[in-house]
A and B are shown apart, each in its own frame.
Chain A
């Protein structure tokens, strides 16, 4: 065992998983949600940078499953199971879903942040995975990191500094 941690970057509308020495990171979450799953026993973690609530609104030919809350979640879970994580032990932490700009009478697409959060919650509830911590909403951007060694979820923002959940 070495102390060297492997930082795994997860881009927008992307997802990835990591083992016990990995740190999963995604930067600049606005209305997107950084959704993480973690198995505390095997110390396997997964992170998805969810951009849209539901694949039902997709107009694209080839679906990028990591982009939508409803499709990203099962994939993340399967990928972690392939590494040896148990879905029964999984806990979820998430952050993001902000509303970056406030407008009066804003249309539905402007409420995308809260809708992303709701959709993630519904998906997790369906799979029976408890949400143990979340830092969602607000009007500011976040960078999040899941340390798979400890299961700690770190959230960094310009206005609020660093927060650990």
Chain B
């Protein structure tokens, strides 16, 4: 578990630095949580299955495949757009195509930095797919990343790292859900002996 925490730490640490450079302000990071959770409880990490969230999703391919989500509240998304791109987002309503594309790109940059530091750390090849963006119910979005786990059981392992800004305002969360087979590879790559499956 500590090894996986370190995995979350390293990835998110680099992503936090990237975000902090983009925004030109300090971004803090909470200690990553590594949990084996039943599907039901995963959406609770972001406020329940019906909570409206903005998510950038990337499928990780390569030697240790998995699913990576960068999740933020719609407000945090608006904030990001305003500060980074100077785009004033209208109150309420959905994001325009242009705004969505900008958000997707921001997510892509952060996720890319998460992955590349992880790949360096483990020496495993991990390549991100083209990211997708969605704003919808957390349950609907996150269940997408659980399909591979669904074939194995009713729990998924989640590496959850929260970004915090100044006043403990949650800026975003990274969810890494490695495919069930990927754990062995990550452990092996890091030279951690596996006790039992």
Taking Cβ atoms with an 8 Å cutoff, the residues of A that contact B are 11-13, 27-32, 51-52, 57-60, 62, 64, 67, 98, 100-104, 109-110, 112, 139-143, 157-159
Contact = CB atoms under 8 A, between A and B. Distances in A.
B140 A142 contact: yes
A9 to B, nearest CB: 10
B140 to A, nearest CB: 2
Interface SS, A side = loop
Nearest to A52: B150
B137 A109 contact: no
A150 B52 CA distance: 29
A82 B59 CA distance: 43
Interface stretch (B80-88, B141-149, B165-173, B185-193): B141-149
Interface residues of B, number: 33
B76 interface: no
Interface of B: 39-40, 43, 48-50, 52, 57, 59, 94, 129-130, 132-144, 146-148, 150-154
A35 to B, nearest CB: 15
A76 B133 CA distance: 35
Contacts of B39: 11-13, 51
B186 to A, nearest CB: 19
Interface SS, B side = mixed
A122 to B, nearest CB: 19
Contact of B134 (A27, A109, A139): A139
18 contacts: A11-B40, A12-B143, A28-B43, A30-B141, A30-B142, A30-B143, A30-B144, A52-B151, A58-B151, A60-B151, A62-B153, A64-B153, A100-B144, A101-B132, A104-B130, A140-B140, A158-B137, A159-B94
Contacts of A62: 153
A115 to B, nearest CB: 10
Contact of B141 (A51, A110, A141): A141
Contact of A28 (B50, B94, B150, B151): B50
B44 to A, nearest CB: 11
B75 to A, nearest CB: 15
B55 to A, nearest CB: 9
B152 A31 contact: no
Contacts of B94: 159
Contacts of A27: 48-50, 137, 139
B135 A158 contact: yes
